[in-house]
């Protein structure tokens, strides 16, 4: 799969992408829980729920975390993979200052750049690839959804080329896009592929996730 280059994209957590004069600025149950448990953002509970439902992660495995800043998914992975596990975390933006670990490799850069892809490839292959990247949003749902789909294409490239046989995959996508098109493509790569919206997603959010289990 050829990766298109999208110079305008920055990779952020969803918490930062839809902020404005709305409830995204207000701490909710999940935000408060994340703070109390030492996670940079509430998004960690989406990964936690997907792992509980689909068993995405294996102890002492190697995981690629795409679009990882500020680092909640990275922290969760570090806490759950075991001392022999490894997390390769990648984003245009730096991780939060308190996100660190002996088994953490952080690569900062554009995930569409060939030099960044080569650095990531040198740390693999991977047992699991996860991606919570989201584009900068403009408020136009059609445009925002199209940008989200381009990020899914990028994440699928990494899953297709750097994920081990039997490996698992999860990626965020904005609803009302081409979820079925991506699921069809994922079923060519994985034994099982399905959509899933974790409870920790904000009620007003139109994000959901695509999950691929057991790469062929």
Q: Which of 10-14, 127-131, 173-177, 195-199 has the highest mean pLDDT?
A: 127-131
Residue 3 lies in a domain: no
Would you say 186 and 156 are in contact if contact means Cβ atoms under 8 Å apart?
Answer: yes
C-alpha to C-alpha distance for 122 and 212, rounded to whole angstroms: 23
What pLDDT score was predicted for residue 44? 85
| Number of domains the chain contains | 1
Residue 175 reports pLDDT greater than 90 = no
- Which of 172, 194, 197, 216 is catalytic? The answer is 172
**Could you read off the pLDDT of 121-164 as tens digits, one per residue?**
999 999 999 999 988 778 888 888 888 999 999 999 999 999 99
Q: Which residue has the higher pLDDT, 84 or 9?
A: 84
Residue 128 lies in a domain: yes
Residue 57 lies in a domain: yes
3-state helix, strand, coil in the chain (%, to 5): 35, 25, 40
What pLDDT score was predicted for residue 161? 98
Q: Residue 192 belongs to what domain range?
A: 14-215
C-alpha to C-alpha distance for 175 and 177, rounded to whole angstroms: 5
Would you say 126 and 162 are in contact if contact means Cβ atoms under 8 Å apart?
Answer: yes
The mean pLDDT value of the chain amounts to 84
- Rg over CA atoms, the chain: 16
C-alpha to C-alpha distance for 19 and 95, rounded to whole angstroms: 19
SS (H, E, C) 115-162: HHHHHHHHHCCEEEEEECCECCCCCCHHHHHHHHHHHHHHHHHHHHHH
Residue 2 lies in a domain: no
Residue 168 lies in a domain: yes
Check residue 131 and give left, alpha or beta (phi > 0: left; psi -120 to 50: alpha). Answer: beta
What pLDDT score was predicted for residue 141? 82
Residue 7 lies in a domain: no
What pLDDT score was predicted for residue 24? 39
Q: Which CATH number belongs to the domain containing residue 52 in this structure?
A: 3.40.50.150
Would you say 171 and 209 are in contact if contact means Cβ atoms under 8 Å apart?
Answer: yes
Residue 6 lies in a domain: no
C-alpha to C-alpha distance for 51 and 191, rounded to whole angstroms: 17
If you ran DSSP here, which 8-state letter would residue 95 be given? P
Residue 84 reports pLDDT greater than 60 = yes
Residue 167 lies in a domain: yes
Concerning whether 164 is annotated as a catalytic residue, the answer is no
């Amino acid at each position: 799969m050829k990766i298109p280059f999208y110079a305008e994209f920055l990779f952020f957590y969803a918490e930062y992408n839809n902020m404005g004069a709305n409830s995204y600025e207000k701490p909710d149950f999940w935000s408060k829980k994340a703070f109390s448990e030492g996670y940079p953002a509430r998004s960690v509970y989406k990964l936690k729920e997907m792992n509980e439902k689909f068993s995405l992660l294996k102890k002492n495995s190697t995981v690629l975390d795409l679009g990882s800043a500020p680092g909640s998914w990275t922290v969760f992975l570090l806490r759950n993979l075991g001392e022999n596990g490894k997390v390769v975390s990648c984003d245009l933006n730096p991780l939060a200052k308190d996100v660190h670990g002996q088994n953490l490799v952080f690569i900062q850069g554009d995930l569409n750049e060939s030099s960044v892809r080569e650095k990531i490839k040198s740390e693999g292959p991977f047992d699991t690839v996860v991606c919570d990247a989201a584009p900068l949003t403009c408020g136009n749902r059609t445009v925002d959804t199209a940008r989200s789909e381009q990020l899914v294409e990028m994440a699928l490239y990494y899953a297709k080329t750097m994920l081990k046989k039997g490996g698992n995959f999860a990626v965020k996508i904005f609803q009302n896009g081409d979820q079925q098109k991506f699921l069809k493509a994922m079923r060519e790569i994985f034994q099982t592929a399905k959509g899933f919206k974790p409870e920790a997603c904000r009620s007003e959010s139109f994000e959901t996730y695509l999950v691929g289990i057991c790469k062929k």
